[in-house]
Protein backbone atom coordinates (compact mmCIF):
# COMPACT_ATOMS: atom_id res chain seq x y z
CA UNK A 1 0.00 0.00 0.00
CA UNK A 2 2.82 2.38 0.83
CA UNK A 3 4.16 1.98 -2.70
CA UNK A 4 1.09 3.79 -4.03
CA UNK A 5 1.48 6.87 -1.83
CA UNK A 6 4.09 8.74 -3.92
CA UNK A 7 2.67 8.44 -7.46
CA UNK A 8 -0.67 9.97 -6.48
CA UNK A 9 0.66 13.41 -5.51
CA UNK A 10 2.82 13.39 -8.65
CA UNK A 11 -0.18 12.58 -10.80
CA UNK A 12 -2.15 15.26 -8.97
CA UNK A 13 0.56 17.84 -9.64
CA UNK A 14 0.72 16.85 -13.30
CA UNK A 15 -3.05 17.21 -13.61
CA UNK A 16 -2.88 20.60 -11.89
CA UNK A 17 -0.12 21.78 -14.24
CA UNK A 18 -2.11 20.55 -17.24
CA UNK A 19 -5.11 22.57 -16.08
CA UNK A 20 -2.91 25.66 -15.73
CA UNK A 21 -1.43 25.02 -19.18
CA UNK A 22 -4.90 24.69 -20.69
CA UNK A 23 -6.01 27.95 -19.03
CA UNK A 24 -2.92 29.87 -20.19
CA UNK A 25 -3.44 28.65 -23.76
CA UNK A 26 -7.08 29.76 -23.70
CA UNK A 27 -6.13 33.10 -22.16
CA UNK A 28 -3.21 34.21 -24.28
CA UNK A 29 -2.17 33.86 -27.91
CA UNK A 30 1.45 34.13 -26.79
CA UNK A 31 1.11 31.18 -24.41
CA UNK A 32 -0.83 29.21 -27.02
CA UNK A 33 2.26 28.84 -29.23
CA UNK A 34 4.24 26.99 -26.55
CA UNK A 35 4.58 23.23 -26.67
CA UNK A 36 3.54 21.04 -23.75
CA UNK A 37 7.18 20.63 -22.72
CA UNK A 38 7.80 24.39 -22.87
CA UNK A 39 4.75 25.13 -20.76
CA UNK A 40 5.74 22.41 -18.33
CA UNK A 41 9.07 24.16 -17.83
CA UNK A 42 7.48 27.61 -17.58
CA UNK A 43 4.66 26.94 -15.11
CA UNK A 44 6.87 26.35 -12.03
CA UNK A 45 8.59 29.68 -12.76
CA UNK A 46 5.33 31.68 -12.67
CA UNK A 47 4.11 33.56 -9.64
CA UNK A 48 0.81 35.37 -9.16
CA UNK A 49 0.68 39.05 -8.25
CA UNK A 50 -2.28 41.20 -7.27
CA UNK A 51 -2.38 44.97 -7.71
CA UNK A 52 -4.72 47.52 -6.16
CA UNK A 53 -6.44 50.10 -8.34
CA UNK A 54 -3.97 52.86 -9.29
CA UNK A 55 -0.98 50.91 -7.99
CA UNK A 56 2.21 51.60 -9.97
CA UNK A 57 3.68 48.27 -11.03
CA UNK A 58 6.96 49.63 -12.35
CA UNK A 59 8.42 53.01 -13.28
CA UNK A 60 10.73 54.35 -15.96
CA UNK A 61 14.31 53.79 -14.83
CA UNK A 62 13.51 50.60 -12.88
CA UNK A 63 15.45 47.45 -13.77
CA UNK A 64 13.54 45.38 -16.34
CA UNK A 65 13.23 42.32 -14.12
CA UNK A 66 9.89 40.67 -14.91
CA UNK A 67 7.32 40.02 -17.65
CA UNK A 68 3.59 40.05 -16.83
CA UNK A 69 0.48 38.33 -18.22
CA UNK A 70 -2.81 39.90 -17.13
CA UNK A 71 -5.36 37.47 -15.68
CA UNK A 72 -7.84 40.10 -14.52
CA UNK A 73 -8.22 43.87 -14.76
CA UNK A 74 -6.66 46.61 -16.87
CA UNK A 75 -3.11 47.97 -16.81
CA UNK A 76 -1.99 51.14 -18.57
CA UNK A 77 1.52 51.49 -19.95
CA UNK A 78 2.58 55.10 -20.36
CA UNK A 79 5.45 57.55 -20.63
CA UNK A 80 5.79 61.02 -19.14
CA UNK A 81 6.72 63.85 -21.51
CA UNK A 82 9.17 66.61 -20.58
CA UNK A 83 6.23 68.92 -19.80
CA UNK A 84 4.93 66.40 -17.27
CA UNK A 85 2.00 65.14 -19.36
CA UNK A 86 1.31 61.43 -19.53
CA UNK A 87 1.20 59.74 -22.92
CA UNK A 88 -0.63 56.41 -22.77
CA UNK A 89 1.03 53.84 -25.04
CA UNK A 90 -1.27 50.90 -24.37
CA UNK A 91 -4.04 49.64 -22.11
CA UNK A 92 -3.43 45.93 -21.45
CA UNK A 93 -6.45 43.76 -20.70
CA UNK A 94 -7.04 40.12 -19.78
CA UNK A 95 -4.70 37.85 -21.72
CA UNK A 96 -2.35 40.69 -22.62
CA UNK A 97 1.38 40.83 -21.95
CA UNK A 98 3.36 43.79 -20.64
CA UNK A 99 6.88 44.33 -19.35
CA UNK A 100 8.24 42.37 -22.32
CA UNK A 101 9.81 45.47 -23.86
CA UNK A 102 12.88 44.55 -21.81
CA UNK A 103 13.90 42.93 -25.12
CA UNK A 104 14.79 46.41 -26.43
CA UNK A 105 15.14 48.38 -23.18
CA UNK A 106 18.76 47.42 -22.44
CA UNK A 107 17.85 46.29 -18.93
CA UNK A 108 16.05 49.48 -17.85
CA UNK A 109 12.36 50.38 -18.05
CA UNK A 110 11.54 53.27 -20.38
CA UNK A 111 7.85 53.43 -19.46
CA UNK A 112 5.53 53.18 -16.47
CA UNK A 113 2.86 50.54 -15.79
CA UNK A 114 -0.10 51.20 -13.50
CA UNK A 115 -3.16 49.11 -12.62
CA UNK A 116 -6.32 51.00 -13.56
CA UNK A 117 -8.42 48.80 -11.29
CA UNK A 118 -7.87 45.86 -8.96
CA UNK A 119 -5.88 43.52 -11.18
CA UNK A 120 -4.20 40.11 -11.13
CA UNK A 121 -1.27 38.95 -13.24
CA UNK A 122 1.11 36.04 -13.45
CA UNK A 123 4.71 37.06 -13.75
CA UNK A 124 8.02 35.45 -14.64
CA UNK A 125 11.58 36.69 -14.20
CA UNK A 126 12.97 38.25 -17.38
CA UNK A 127 15.98 35.93 -17.30
CA UNK A 128 13.70 32.86 -17.33
CA UNK A 129 11.49 34.31 -20.03
CA UNK A 130 14.51 35.30 -22.12
CA UNK A 131 15.91 31.76 -21.84
CA UNK A 132 12.60 30.30 -23.02
CA UNK A 133 12.48 32.89 -25.80
CA UNK A 134 15.83 31.68 -27.12
CA UNK A 135 14.73 28.04 -26.85
CA UNK A 136 11.39 28.50 -28.64
CA UNK A 137 11.37 29.99 -32.17
CA UNK A 138 7.57 29.99 -32.12
CA UNK A 139 7.53 32.11 -28.97
CA UNK A 140 10.07 34.47 -30.53
CA UNK A 141 7.84 34.85 -33.59
CA UNK A 142 4.75 35.42 -31.40
CA UNK A 143 6.55 38.15 -29.44
CA UNK A 144 7.75 39.79 -32.68
CA UNK A 145 4.16 39.69 -33.95
CA UNK A 146 2.93 41.25 -30.69
CA UNK A 147 5.43 44.11 -30.98
CA UNK A 148 4.54 44.63 -34.64
CA UNK A 149 0.85 44.96 -33.68
CA UNK A 150 1.79 47.50 -31.00
CA UNK A 151 3.83 49.49 -33.50
CA UNK A 152 0.99 49.40 -36.03
CA UNK A 153 -1.42 50.60 -33.32
CA UNK A 154 0.88 53.49 -32.42
CA UNK A 155 1.21 54.42 -36.09
CA UNK A 156 -2.58 54.42 -36.46
CA UNK A 157 -2.86 56.62 -33.38
CA UNK A 158 -0.27 59.03 -34.74
CA UNK A 159 -1.95 59.20 -38.15
CA UNK A 160 -5.30 59.72 -36.47
CA UNK A 161 -3.96 62.59 -34.36
CA UNK A 162 -2.48 64.41 -37.36
CA UNK A 163 -5.28 63.74 -39.84
CA UNK A 164 -8.60 63.46 -37.96
CA UNK A 165 -10.63 65.92 -35.90
CA UNK A 166 -10.74 65.13 -32.20
CA UNK A 167 -14.40 64.04 -32.41
CA UNK A 168 -13.41 61.37 -34.97
CA UNK A 169 -10.52 60.18 -32.79
CA UNK A 170 -12.78 59.83 -29.78
CA UNK A 171 -15.53 58.06 -31.73
CA UNK A 172 -12.96 55.68 -33.21
CA UNK A 173 -11.64 54.88 -29.72
CA UNK A 174 -15.16 54.22 -28.44
CA UNK A 175 -15.91 51.95 -31.39
CA UNK A 176 -12.66 50.03 -30.83
CA UNK A 177 -13.53 49.48 -27.16
CA UNK A 178 -17.12 48.39 -27.84
CA UNK A 179 -17.82 44.72 -27.08
CA UNK A 180 -21.27 43.59 -28.22
CA UNK A 181 -22.39 47.21 -28.11
CA UNK A 182 -21.10 47.87 -24.59
CA UNK A 183 -18.32 50.42 -24.09
CA UNK A 184 -16.48 49.91 -20.81
CA UNK A 185 -13.84 52.61 -20.82
CA UNK A 186 -11.78 51.57 -17.81
CA UNK A 187 -10.17 55.01 -18.07
CA UNK A 188 -10.85 58.40 -16.55
CA UNK A 189 -11.71 61.22 -18.95
CA UNK A 190 -8.17 62.53 -18.40
CA UNK A 191 -6.65 59.17 -19.38
CA UNK A 192 -8.96 58.88 -22.37
CA UNK A 193 -7.79 62.32 -23.45
CA UNK A 194 -4.17 61.16 -23.15
CA UNK A 195 -4.81 58.32 -25.59
CA UNK A 196 -6.14 60.61 -28.35
CA UNK A 197 -4.05 63.74 -27.87
CA UNK A 198 -6.55 66.20 -26.42
CA UNK A 199 -7.74 67.65 -23.10
CA UNK A 200 -10.00 66.19 -20.43
CA UNK A 201 -12.47 69.05 -20.93
CA UNK A 202 -12.75 68.26 -24.64
CA UNK A 203 -13.39 64.55 -23.99
CA UNK A 204 -16.07 65.34 -21.40
CA UNK A 205 -17.78 67.81 -23.74
CA UNK A 206 -17.67 65.45 -26.74
CA UNK A 207 -19.05 62.51 -24.78
CA UNK A 208 -22.05 64.64 -23.83
CA UNK A 209 -22.44 65.69 -27.49
CA UNK A 210 -22.37 62.05 -28.62
CA UNK A 211 -25.06 61.24 -26.06
CA UNK A 212 -27.17 64.20 -27.20
CA UNK A 213 -26.88 63.07 -30.82
CA UNK A 214 -27.96 59.56 -29.88
CA UNK A 215 -24.70 57.87 -30.96
CA UNK A 216 -24.07 56.49 -27.45
CA UNK A 217 -26.04 56.26 -24.23
CA UNK A 218 -24.74 56.23 -20.64
CA UNK A 219 -25.12 53.12 -18.48
CA UNK A 220 -23.69 52.13 -15.10
CA UNK A 221 -20.47 50.62 -16.47
CA UNK A 222 -19.83 53.26 -19.14
CA UNK A 223 -21.82 53.60 -22.37
CA UNK A 224 -23.62 51.53 -24.95
CA UNK A 225 -23.61 52.12 -28.69
CA UNK A 226 -27.07 53.49 -29.41
CA UNK A 227 -26.51 54.21 -33.13
CA UNK A 228 -23.57 52.30 -34.61
CA UNK A 229 -23.92 53.91 -38.05
CA UNK A 230 -23.80 57.40 -36.57
CA UNK A 231 -20.82 56.59 -34.35
CA UNK A 232 -19.02 55.11 -37.36
CA UNK A 233 -19.76 58.21 -39.45
CA UNK A 234 -18.26 60.41 -36.71
CA UNK A 235 -15.24 58.09 -36.45
CA UNK A 236 -14.66 58.34 -40.22
CA UNK A 237 -14.86 62.13 -40.07
CA UNK A 238 -17.99 62.19 -42.24
CA UNK A 239 -19.77 64.01 -39.41
CA UNK A 240 -17.80 66.52 -37.34
CA UNK A 241 -18.93 67.23 -33.80
CA UNK A 242 -17.72 70.36 -32.07
CA UNK A 243 -16.79 70.18 -28.38
CA UNK A 244 -17.54 73.89 -28.05
CA UNK A 245 -21.12 74.07 -29.23
CA UNK A 246 -23.80 72.02 -27.44
CA UNK A 247 -26.05 69.88 -29.61
CA UNK A 248 -29.67 70.87 -29.27
CA UNK A 249 -31.09 67.39 -29.68
CA UNK A 250 -33.11 65.35 -27.20
CA UNK A 251 -31.45 61.95 -26.72
CA UNK A 252 -33.60 59.01 -27.67
CA UNK A 253 -34.74 56.84 -24.75
CA UNK A 254 -32.69 53.68 -24.27
CA UNK A 255 -34.09 50.43 -22.97
CA UNK A 256 -31.57 48.21 -21.24
Which pLDDT score, from 0 to 100, does residue 248 have? 54
Which pLDDT score, from 0 to 100, does residue 46 have? 92
> Quick check: 170 pLDDT over 60?
yes
What confidence category does residue 12 fall into, taking pLDDT thresholds of 50, 70 and 90? low
Spell out the domain ranges in the chain: 45-160, 164-236
> Quick check: 108 pLDDT over 90?
no
164-236 belongs to CATH 3.30.470.10? no
Question: What is 45-160's CATH number?
Answer: 2.60.120.10
Which pLDDT score, from 0 to 100, does residue 2 have? 43
Evaluate whether 45-160 and 164-236 have a shared fold.
no
> Quick check: 250 pLDDT over 80?
no
**How far is residue 131's CA from residue 196's CA, in Å, rounded to a whole number?**
37
Amino acid sequence: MTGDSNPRPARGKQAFNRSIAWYLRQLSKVMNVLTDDELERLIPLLSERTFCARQVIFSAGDPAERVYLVLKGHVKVYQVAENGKEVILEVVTKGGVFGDMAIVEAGERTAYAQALEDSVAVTVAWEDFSHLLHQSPRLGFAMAELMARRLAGMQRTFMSIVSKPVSARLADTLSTRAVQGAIRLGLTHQELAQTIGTSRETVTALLSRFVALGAIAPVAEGYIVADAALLDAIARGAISVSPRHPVEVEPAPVTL
